[in-house]
């Protein structure tokens, strides 16, 4: 009887050790994004890779795939929902399209006044609640403190007041909230892949585009559009996301390393973005672009009807425009 019990204990211990060994197995993670090598976000991802591999003593390896090498954002999200060990950056507008509609407000115009508003919000109970809803949809947000940038507008004709943008065809990402954000300003939002924008500006198909300054500059759009309007219609912080199937396959320590190092890399990225934004704004001027500072309050006032437009808010929690500022401590 004692011999049988001893064998059972040894067998049980062996099973536990084997399970631990499997759970702690080396893991390779792919991070895919649209940004090109050398852009602030790419440099931030390089830092994330370095930190994870160092913190995990090489048991976690990160492979970076810039320039849409793994496909579009939606392609990568489909891959992660299937269980692949992939990560990509995504924002509230995409999460709304994936079944968490209140996340849409993060891309609504002039929601945030300062970057501190963003950082307060991501630590709030409201943000956690929305993130938990996303988990139920199979997606896990890993890190949320990455600055993508203040989104401004680069055009072929000057925009000095909000009236000047009326009827202008402005390229925007293909999601409902950003389309609505320019419609309410009086523009004609025109979704296009970023790769088609240069030629479209050149041929007069569109009159401008919006994006953070590093993206606008690195796309060389200033060669065909000479007016940069600093309207700052969205403070765009971004997040990185993976599938819950993959995230749950990691050990608690691996999960911690991935998320903590992601936040540290976010701070690294932010320093680069703020510095690059200042330097590239001057480069725009040096290359013959007129940088126009506008009355942002005028643009904001024009945008406010969006928050009471049933076509925009129908899927939102009632009173969301009041709820979100409260989550920012306002």
pLDDT at position 24 is 52
Mean of the pLDDT values across residues 257-265? 98
For the stretch 64-88, pLDDT in tens is 999 889 988 889 999 999 999 999 9
> Could you tell me the two tokens for 295?
């009355």
pLDDT at residue 253 is higher than 70:
yes
pLDDT average, residue stretch 203-209: 98
DSSP annotation string for 188-219: EEEE--GGGHHHHHHHTS-SEEEEEHHHHHHT
pLDDT of residue 182: 98
Q: Please check the confidence at residue 193 and state whether its pLDDT lies above 70.
A: yes
Whole-angstrom Cα distance, residue 99 to residue 315?
Answer: 10
Please state the pTM of the whole predicted model. 0.87
Q: What confidence tens digit (pLDDT) does each residue in 271-325 have?
A: 999 999 999 999 999 999 999 999 999 999 999 999 999 999 999 999 999 999 9
Q: What is the pLDDT of residues 31-53, one digit of tens each?
A: 999 888 888 999 999 999 999 99
């Amino acid at each position: 009887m004692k011999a049988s019990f001893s064998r059972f204990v040894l067998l049980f211990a062996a099973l536990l050790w084997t399970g631990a060994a499997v759970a702690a197995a080396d893991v390779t993670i792919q991070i895919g994004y649209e940004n090109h090598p050398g852009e602030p976000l790419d440099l931030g991802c390089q830092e994330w890779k370095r930190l994870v591999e160092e913190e995990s003593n090489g048991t976690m390896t990160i492979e970076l795939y810039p320039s849409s090498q793994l496909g579009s954002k939606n392609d990568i999200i489909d891959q992660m929902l299937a269980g692949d060990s992939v990560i990509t950056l995504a924002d509230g507008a995409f999460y709304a399209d994936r079944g968490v509609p209140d996340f849409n407000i993060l891309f609504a115009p002039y929601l945030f006044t300062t970057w501190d508003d963003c950082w307060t919000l991501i630590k709030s109970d409201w943000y956690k609640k929305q993130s938990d809803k996303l988990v139920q949809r199979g997606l896990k947000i890993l890190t949320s403190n990455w600055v993508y940038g203040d989104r401004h507008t680069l055009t072929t004709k000057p925009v000095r007041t909000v009236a000047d943008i009326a009827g202008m065809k402005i390229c925007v990402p293909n999601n409902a909230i950003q389309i609505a954000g320019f419609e309410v300003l009086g523009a004609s939002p025109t979704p296009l892949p970023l790769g088609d924008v240069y030629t479209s500006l050149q041929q007069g198909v569109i009159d401008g585009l919006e994006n953070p300054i590093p993206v606008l500059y690195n796309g060389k759009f200033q060669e065909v559009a000479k007016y940069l309007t600093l309207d700052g219609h969205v403070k765009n912080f971004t997040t990185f996301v993976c599938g819950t199937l993959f995230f749950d396959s990691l050990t608690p320590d691996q999960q911690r390393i991935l998320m903590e190092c992601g936040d540290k890399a976010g701070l690294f990225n932010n320093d680069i973005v703020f510095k690059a934004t200042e330097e590239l704004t001057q480069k725009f001027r040096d290359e013959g672009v007129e940088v126009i500072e506008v009355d942002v309050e005028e643009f904001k006032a024009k945008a406010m009807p969006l928050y009471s437009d049933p076509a925009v808010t129908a899927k939102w929690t009632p009173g969301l425009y009041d709820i979100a500022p409260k989550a920012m401590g306002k």
